[in-house]
Chain A
Amino acid sequence: MKLSPTHKFFSATAAVSVLLLTAACGGNSSDGASSDPTTSATSDSSGSSDDSSSSSDASFKDGTYSGEASYVNPGGNSKLKVDLTLADDKITKIKVTPEATDPTSKGHQTDFAGGIAAETVGKRIDQLHVTTVAGSSLTHLGFDKAIKQIESEAKA
C-alpha cells in the first residue's frame, strides 16, 4: 500500500497519539495485581525483513507495533487495540479492534480478595486422580468436524 507523503505524515501522527493516549490513560486502567502494563508497544523486527533498505532519515523503526487506547464512554471505560506495521516511515498495515471493558481495573481488583497469579503451573491430568475433566477439548463435535474439513481442504 502506497501512501502519499501527507497521508503518511498524518497517519504516523495518529499512530503516535494513539500510543501516547494509551500511556496517558495507563494510570487509570493498569492492572493493580500484575506487573505487566496495559500499555505496550513492541517491535517485531523479524516480520519486516523485506524492508531492510530503510532510509537514514526514518524517524520510526521498522516493525510491527501494537498499542491500546482507553476512553470513557457512557457505559464505562472502553478500549481499542491498534496494530500497525511501519516500514520506511510508512504505515503498511493498520488494524483497530474494539475490546471489552477492562474487567480487572485497579479499583475493583481490591474489592474482592481473590487470588491472582502471573502464570499457572499446569499439572498432568493423568496424574491427578480426578473423576472427570472440565475443559474445551470435547466441546463441540459439529464444530470440530467443520474445522477438520477446512484443514483437509487447505492441505489438498
Chain B
Amino acid sequence: MTAAWEFEAIGTAWQIDTREPLAERVRAAVTDRIDEFDRVWSRFRPDSVVSAIAAGVGEWELPDEAESLFRFYDELHDATDGAVNPLIGRTLADLGYDADYSLTPVPAPADVPYWSSLTFDFSPPVVHTTEPVVIDVGAAGKGLLVDLVSSILHRHRLNQFTVNASGDLFHNGTTPIRVALEHPRDPELAVGVAELDPELALCASATNRRAWGDGLHHVLDARTGRPTEGIIATWVVADSCMWADGLATAHFLADPAVLMGRFRHEFVRMHADGRIEWSPDFPGEVFV
C-alpha cells in the first residue's frame, strides 16, 4: 500500500491505507458516514439520538446498523452474565467520563439499568424505553463504524485497503500485514505481533491509557458499575471489526473459555500482574 489518508473523527485518529490515493468523493462518502454514525450514537453530542433517548421515555427509530449492533450486544450480555451492557452510559458519565471530560466522579454514581429494560423491534429497528437510559456503544460501536467505512470502500470498488481507527482495524488486500501488539505499559515495546490475513479485523483495548483518578477507566463491569480490574489489555482477531471490538471488551470481563466457545475469534490478553494469555491459534507470535 502506498497511499495513507490520515484524519481525525469521533475523537480518534484514523488512517486508511490504499494503493492509490482515495478520490475526493470517496473521502467525502467516508466522512459523511462517520458523521451520520456520530449523530445517532454519540452520547457526547446533545443533538444525537442517544442524547434524546437519555432525556426521555418513548420510542425511537434507529438506523439499520442498530440491528446487528444490538443483537451482538445481546449475545455479549448473555456470554458475560451481564457484565457487558450498553446501558452503562450514565454510570460512566457519573464516574467522570462525560461530554466535558470532567474526569471527576460524583459521590454516588448511578447503578447500571438492566439491559432488559430496553425492548426492540427490528426492520426497521425501533427501541422502546420505560425510563431515560444512557446508551454507550463504546464496547463495539467503533468497530462497527470501521466495518461501515470498509463497506463504503468496497462499494467504491476498492479491494485493497486497511482501515485503522486507533486500535480498531480492518484489513483487506492480497497479503497479510504484521501488526505489533503494543505493550500497555510501554508504547515503545510490543508484547507480540499479529499476522493479519486479508478480510480480518484486529482490535486492541487497554484500560491504563484512558484512565483517570482512583482506579477509574472506561471499561466497566455493568453488574458492579465499577471499572474492571485484573485484565489491563486485550487484542482480538475476528471476521468483523464489530466482533473484534466487542470481544476485546468482553475479554476484560469474562472467562476466555466461554467466549472461545461462543464466538469465532482469537485473542491475547494481559493481566495486571504481567501474566499474558492467548488462544491456541492466535495468528502471530506472543513474546514470552
Point out residues on A near B: beta carbons under 8 Å.
34, 36, 75-76, 81, 97-105, 108-109, 111-126, 128-143, 145-147, 150
Q: Contact partner of A130 among B180, B228, B253, B274, CB < 8 A?
A: B180
With A120-B191, A130-B179, A130-B180 as contacts: A135 and B206 at CB distance below 8 Å: yes
Interface size on B, residues (CB 8 A): 76
CB distance from B125 to the nearest CB of A (A): 27
Decide: B103 and A147 in contact? CB cutoff 8 A.
yes
Interface segment among B46-54, B68-76, B197-205: the answer is B197-205
Task: Check: B212 CB closer than 8 A to any chain A CB.
Answer: yes
User: A119–B278 Cα gap in the complex (Å)?
Assistant: 12
Interface segment among B30-38, B108-116, B255-263: the answer is B255-263
User: A113–B260 Cα gap in the complex (Å)?
Assistant: 11
Decide: B280 and A131 in contact? CB cutoff 8 A.
no
User: A101–B251 Cα gap in the complex (Å)?
Assistant: 12
Decide: A135 and B167 in contact? CB cutoff 8 A.
yes
With A76-B81, A112-B256 as contacts: A136 and B288 at CB distance below 8 Å: no
Decide: B275 and A118 in contact? CB cutoff 8 A.
yes
Task: Check: B162 CB closer than 8 A to any chain A CB.
Answer: yes
**CB-defined contacts of A123 to chain B, threshold 8 Å:** 189-190, 287
Task: Check: B151 CB closer than 8 A to any chain A CB.
Answer: no
Interface segment among B8-16, B20-28, B86-94, B153-161: the answer is B8-16
User: A125–B193 Cα gap in the complex (Å)?
Assistant: 9
> Can you list 15 A-B contacts (CB < 8 A)?
A75-B81, A99-B229, A100-B253, A103-B230, A103-B253, A117-B288, A124-B188, A124-B190, A125-B189, A126-B188, A132-B164, A135-B181, A136-B184, A140-B166, A141-B13
User: A116–B288 Cα gap in the complex (Å)?
Assistant: 9
Decide: B183 and A120 in contact? CB cutoff 8 A.
yes
